Amino acid sequence: MRNFKIFIDICDIYLEILKLDTTRYTMPFMIMFVEADDPDGACNTAMFRIMDEIMFSGVNIQNRILCRKLRRKIRIERIQSL
């Protein structure tokens, strides 16, 4: 498995994520390090990490809707293989 450095933009839903008081995702532009087999798998892993943090803050309908929005609004700016 290879390591990837992923530059993520979540500024479209940043204010909604701030309301959840998550500990990790407090910036609209962030860098995440992921271990995966290929770049597509690395992007999916990064997205599911953010979704897990959202669902960990509370399992309710608003968080599920926010996860759906995240899937449409997240932007991967750049990905680098390390």
- Tens of pLDDT, residues 23-74: 777 788 999 999 999 999 999 999 999 999 888 888 889 999 999 999 999 9
Number of domains in the chain: 1
In this prediction the pTM is 0.85
Q: What is the pLDDT of residues 63-78, one digit of tens each?
A: 999 999 999 999 999 9
pLDDT the model gives residue 26: 78
pLDDT the model gives residue 25: 77
Q: Show the tokens assigned to 5.
A: 């450095």
Handedness of CA 9, 15, 17, 18 (dihedral sign): positive
> DSSP class of residue 14?
H
Range of the structural domain that residue 9 is part of: 2-81
